[in-house]
Structure 1
């Protein structure tokens, strides 16, 4: 009897699959770089983990008594305390997302991280085998969030040169829905990130409205992942980084669209948010599902919230952080300025080494093109979509002591693209980029037997 015979078919299916992004994360986390204690460790420029605001967070949280005996018991509710949900409503969504209709605390469910939010959302709107539509490239974690437990399917829409920020993609999305349905797959939702992950840009109002109309036409849910909403930094750019910016769209939350019912049934429209990105708290695990017009979905999310209940300590610390609008404003502005500084340094380095990239407006990352470093003997196979060249460059970087996320993890069909996260202090970023370029140059010289 094999081990898999002792497991559920769901678990066996998960074990049979591979997760190249997780493989890199595990290697990077097992040997973390530290200027004082482990200079030979791996500098993590692959995970969207903002390390620019640690001093400010330490100061804010030092005022929370984490040994308060009230925190030793269960919290008020598995879907988040009324006070914390109120702070999210008033001090985040109503203040920064400019909603056309004011957001209320009872319109959201809190979970232990945005991955848990997407997983619970999928569980509540999909049966096993149902499809959720996503255009490529997209955040690779969605694959796990949607498929690992709920056993829904990710339906990838490959745009193949069509802009993910334009209107032409709508027909490709419709074709994907029609094809899935003709094959017997029920399509239940469309998920997108705004600001986009991994491309770091925002959608224009007309495109958001087109997405809404598409959801209405097909009677599917539409989940806007707006977790980078307060990490938009393009207004603070200077010099070459500013000159590189094409015409930019401001961040527009779907919540700010007036009279949304003109375009889509309101109960189909939802927003995911969390504390990992804008507030640099990946390890705290706090996600939000905001569904202002669908009480049935909220009740369904609450029915399983006990499995993704935040710790009482986390809830207390987040309540402290989000209780003061002035603190939030200062924190956000400082974070955006530091993101702009790190992004500017990254752009200059990439330009100095003639590495193409897609200019970003927000988020923690930039989409870079490392195809020029593919060894000559692998160019033909890479152009045909075979991933060994991308893996070669990626593993060369890990060996050199830097982790950068490869395009395969984002379902990018073109071989040789990577997502580079720059949200680390400039001295670490400088060393990490130096290691990356050294590794790429060495990989490009690999001979046919390497």
Structure 2
């Protein structure tokens, strides 16, 4: 005969009560700590491999250039002789002079600046993510705002706002081409509307070449944006992390990358209002180095950034390897040439697979590592009662259940639901399997 139910219940309660009391004794997190604890980093351990793990997850979300990893690893393995000084804290918490000089020389060759980049203008930290946040902290007080056109890089909202108290003022465009000279008027209208609400905008940030659209800002549009920032007395931050990830196409005119530093500021804007973000992660497939830099002709901005960047100092080993890489000009030239060839090949192969499966996409641009899918046509098939953004979330969930990950438009603050970003800079087998799984899901709508 079993124990009475009351005794069992009391026994269970006696067991869990100490646990509950122990939990009550644990000091609570701060409000922000509690919010951040809900953040999902999204590590994936069960990744697809055509031979070793054919049932694994196909991840087409990480914007890294996998085409370059073999050549980069070979370079690193042949240049990993370090000085014993690299084992100490040493000098150069915000970039060694050697690295900053190598980067300045590199940018002067490829970015065609009106006035040369100088090592003293460059501050390094452990990634552009850190420097985006630091730039926001240096330019804005809590409650101030930064303007961004939508859609745009999914990380900006987290990077600029998560710990800074800064707000985002999103800009939507009347036309379908935010790179057109005509669309600059939308920035002006958005600025005045935000100002009327009491929003204090301190800066505009752009992504050039653009992520996720893969297009470059034409020189005329860049100049107009510089003029806009001058007229509103705000800063311009140009994230040029994909600057050299462009490729020539034969089927349509290819867009050229133009750095904001190649726009002559004379008579337009104080050059101290213009800042450039760059790094090793995209053009060189070196995200693992964790090296980004911000370049500014504003000494006070640079000093302030350096003061905060010590919380995100890069590794001495990474800085040594990056300096060796950038100093080997012949290798860099060949490396970038091969990168452009493989990016074009990967983009065209992705387009071919998408066309074969009748999956529509943004068929413009010739830069970056991703394609902007247009799945808006599948939203109505879910039913009139579905909110479009919920429908987009549902499609993403079904992709995940099918073993393929692509980022949905909401994380890029897309103006309409149904857009997804697919990274194509992966091996052909992975790309083929990923698009196959996407198509299998869409066939059931």
Fold shared, TM-score > 0.5 on shorter chain: yes
| Deviation at residue 168 of structure 1 after TM alignment | 2.7
2:73 to 54, 58, 68: 58
Q: Retained in 2: the 8 A contact 1:286–1:310?
A: yes
Q: What corresponds to 1:11 in structure 2?
A: 33
Q: Residues of 2 paired with 1:13 and 1:264: CA distance?
A: 40
Map 1:419-434 → 2, pairs under 5 A: 419-434=421-436
Residues 1:276 and 2:281 aligned together: yes
Structure 1 length-normalised TM: 0.89
Q: What corresponds to 1:309 in structure 2?
A: 313
Deviates more, 1:110-119 or 1:155-164: 155-164
CA gap of 1:376–1:271, structure 2 versus 1, over 3 A, is same
CA gap of 1:428–1:185, structure 2 versus 1, over 3 A, is same
Q: Residues of 2 paired with 1:160 and 1:282: CA distance?
A: 36
2:64 to 43, 49, 58: 49
Q: Retained in 1: the 8 A contact 2:50–2:429?
A: no
For the pair shown, which has the larger CA radius of gyration, 1 or 2? 2
Residues 1:26 and 2:48 aligned together: no
Q: What corresponds to 1:155 in structure 2?
A: 169
| Deviation at residue 262 of structure 1 after TM alignment | 2.2
Q: Deviations over 1:358-391 (max 9, x none)?
A: 1231000111111233362435645xxx312111
Q: What corresponds to 1:448 in structure 2?
A: none
Query: Per the alignment, in what secondary structure is the counterpart of residue 346 of structure 2?
Result: helix
Q: Retained in 1: the 8 A contact 2:382–2:391?
A: no
Q: Residues of 1 paired with 2:143 and 2:162: CA distance?
A: 12
Q: What corresponds to 1:261 in structure 2?
A: 266
Residues 1:288 and 2:302 aligned together: no
Structure 2 length-normalised TM: 0.90
Query: Per the alignment, in what secondary structure is the counterpart of residue 304 of structure 2?
Result: helix
Map 1:224-243 → 2, pairs under 5 A: 224-233=238-247, 235=248, 237=249, 242-243=250-251
Q: Deviations over 1:234-267 (max 9, x none)?
A: x1x3xxxx43x4x443111111123x13221211
Q: Residues of 1 paired with 2:315 and 2:63: CA distance?
A: 23
| Deviation at residue 3 of structure 1 after TM alignment | 10
| Deviation at residue 38 of structure 1 after TM alignment | 2.4
Note the residue ranges of structure 1 that are not aligned, 5 or more in a row: 445-450
Q: Deviations over 1:306-351 (max 9, x none)?
A: 1010011111211121111111101101011001011001111122
Q: What corresponds to 1:447 in structure 2?
A: none
Q: Retained in 2: the 8 A contact 1:373–1:441?
A: no
| Deviation at residue 7 of structure 1 after TM alignment | 3.5
Q: Retained in 2: the 8 A contact 1:61–1:320?
A: no
Query: Per the alignment, in what secondary structure is the counterpart of residue 168 of structure 1?
Result: helix
Note the residue ranges of structure 2 that are not aligned, 5 or more in a row: 1-22
Q: Residues of 1 paired with 2:337 and 2:430: CA distance?
A: 22
Q: Residues of 2 paired with 1:440 and 1:66: CA distance?
A: 51
1:369 to 336, 352, 374: 374
Q: Deviations over 1:88-124 (max 9, x none)?
A: 0002x11110111111111110010010110111111
Q: Deviations over 1:121-154 (max 9, x none)?
A: 1111111111000000011100111001112011
Aligned length: 422
Map 1:191-270 → 2, pairs under 5 A: 191-233=205-247, 235=248, 237=249, 242-243=250-251, 245=252, 247-258=253-264, 260-270=265-275
1:87 to 97, 102, 109: 102
Q: Residues of 1 paired with 2:359 and 2:26: CA distance?
A: 45
Q: Retained in 1: the 8 A contact 2:64–2:369?
A: yes
Query: Per the alignment, in what secondary structure is the counterpart of residue 419 of structure 1?
Result: strand
Query: Per the alignment, in what secondary structure is the counterpart of residue 397 of structure 2?
Result: helix
Q: Retained in 2: the 8 A contact 1:370–1:417?
A: yes
Q: Residues of 2 paired with 1:67 and 1:266: CA distance?
A: 38
Query: Per the alignment, in what secondary structure is the counterpart of residue 357 of structure 1?
Result: coil
